């Protein structure tokens, strides 16, 4: 189903999550203690949803979950999704109408260090979540979040489409590609006939305030510059589809709404900037450095460490056509808002208030 035309303001308004849709909805969010999960939980709470969160305790200190008091916005459970015996009754008691599965081992380099944990969490953990959701009679829609790295990367110049082959050189990418296959199997074998619309969401590299994860560009820069150290870039020319965290989250929310009214929309979706706006690590950090006003950067002359893809972009035509998805904030705007968030938070501004200000600006396309 293609969206109708209109001005940018009209299109953005239609793309915004609907308070009428989410108000009072019982929603499950796995991974709610993580960066994206915390932002999603906060946004759902603003929309009036009744959120149940399941995740491990936050992996970093500081973390957005604690700073924004996300546990006060939802019914929060710390549970390992590899533990099916504990997971299943929590999901059953929550009786979700909609589910967002974000819980994962999300880091490429960590997956080289801990491949068994990565596969167990990202593959079997997804199986556990889907198996538990099978037994929930109230469930109508579920969005399983994977990654832009699920594609077999040929280092070619074309952006990847949802119909391109899955693959994965590193354990993280391979585990997420496997999660895509698992999800498709559960959709076709079980959930479709139960009236549950199931989709996967493949998003590019996200930035935004409140991320302190290891091996991520902006968090690494903030840590280095705040401590007076230089940031070392391993692969300055590596190119990715960078976007503010609110961009894919708006897509996930819009996708879940669409699944409710049109179960035939179930399937796979890319979310990211326009393909031509993919940018190199160096281009992103130069913008961040200029906005930060100080901080040194060291470019490594040789590629060190395990393999990572050099070039990656996503084709978002399907999301645009079916959901009306249109990226709102340019790379410059996304980096600017991200750096301002960290600067304000370091100056004692409340993390939740900063997030809410960004959400309000995003919804108004300001």
Predicted pLDDT at 7 = 56
In the block, residue with structure tokens 């819980």: 103
Predicted pLDDT at 219 = 95
pLDDT at residue 153 is higher than 70: yes
Instruction: Give the pLDDT band (50/70/90) at residue 9.
Output: low
Predicted pLDDT at 294 = 84
3-class DSSP assignment, residue 14: helix
Distance separating alpha carbons of residues 218 and 224, to the nearest angstrom:
10
Handedness of CA 224, 226, 230, 235 (dihedral sign): positive
pLDDT at residue 80 is higher than 70: yes
pLDDT at residue 1 is higher than 50: no
pLDDT at residue 366 is higher than 60: no
Q: What average pLDDT does the segment 8-37 reach? A: 87
Q: Do 271 and 204 form a contact (C-beta atoms < 8 A)?
A: yes
In the block, residue with structure tokens 């969206």: 3
Predicted pLDDT at 309 = 62
Q: Would you tell me the crossing angle of helices 217-226 and 281-292 to the nearest 10 degrees? A: 40
Query: Which of 267, 211, 214, 271 is closest to 241 using CA atoms?
Result: 271
pLDDT at residue 198 is higher than 80: yes
Instruction: Write down all domains in the chain, each with its CATH number in brackets.
Output: 8-204+245-274+311-328 (3.40.50.720)
Backbone angles phi, psi at 296, to 5 degrees: -95, 155
Tens of pLDDT along 273-307? 998 888 999 999 999 999 998 889 998 765 666 65
Predicted pLDDT at 2 = 46
pLDDT at residue 166 is higher than 60: yes
Distance separating alpha carbons of residues 58 and 35, to the nearest angstrom:
9
Q: Do 339 and 206 form a contact (C-beta atoms < 8 A)?
A: no
pLDDT at residue 3 is higher than 50: no
């Amino acid at each position: 189903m293609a969206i109708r035309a209109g001005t940018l303001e009209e299109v953005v308004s239609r793309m915004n999550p609907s308070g009428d849709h989410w108000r009072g909805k019982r929603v499950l969010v796995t991974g709610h203690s993580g960066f994206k999960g915390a932002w999603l939980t906060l946004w759902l709470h603003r929309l009036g949803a009744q959120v149940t969160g399941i995740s491990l305790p936050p992996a970093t200190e500081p973390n957005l979950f604690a700073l924004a008091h996300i546990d006060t916005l939802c019914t929060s459970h710390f549970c390992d999704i590899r533990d099916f015996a504990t997971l299943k009754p929590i999901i059953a008691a929550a009786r979700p109408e909609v589910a967002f599965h974000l819980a994962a081992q999300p880091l490429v380099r960590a997956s080289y260090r801990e491949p068994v944990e990565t596969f167990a969490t990202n593959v079997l953990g997804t199986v556990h979540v889907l198996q538990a959701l099978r037994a929930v009679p109230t469930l109508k829609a579920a969005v399983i979040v994977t990654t832009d790295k699920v594609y077999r990367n040929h280092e070619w110049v074309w952006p990847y489409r949802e119909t391109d082959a899955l693959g994965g050189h590193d354990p993280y990418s391979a585990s997420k590609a496997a999660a895509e296959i698992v999800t498709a199997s559960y959709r076709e074998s079980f959930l479709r006939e139960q009236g549950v619309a199931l989709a996967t969401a493949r998003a590019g590299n996200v930035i935004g305030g409140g991320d302190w994860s290891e091996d991520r560009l902006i968090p690494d820069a903030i840590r280095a510059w705040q401590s007076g150290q230089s940031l070392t870039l391993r692969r300055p020319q590596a190119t990715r589809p960078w976007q503010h965290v609110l961009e894919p989250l708006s897509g996930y929310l819009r996708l879940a709404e669409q699944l409710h009214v049109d179960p035939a929309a179930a399937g796979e979706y890319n979310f990211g900037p326009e393909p031509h706006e993919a940018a190199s690590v160096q281009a992103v950090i130069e913008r961040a450095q200029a906005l930060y006003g100080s901080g040194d950067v060291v470019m490594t002359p040789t590629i060190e460490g395990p393999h990572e893809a050099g070039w990656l972009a996503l084709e978002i035509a399907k999301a645009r056509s079916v959901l009306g998805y249109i990226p709102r904030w340019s790379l410059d705007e996304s980096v600017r808002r991200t750096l301002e968030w960290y600067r304000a938070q370091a100056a004692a501004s409340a993390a939740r208030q900063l997030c809410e200000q960004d959400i309000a600006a995003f919804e108004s396309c300001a």
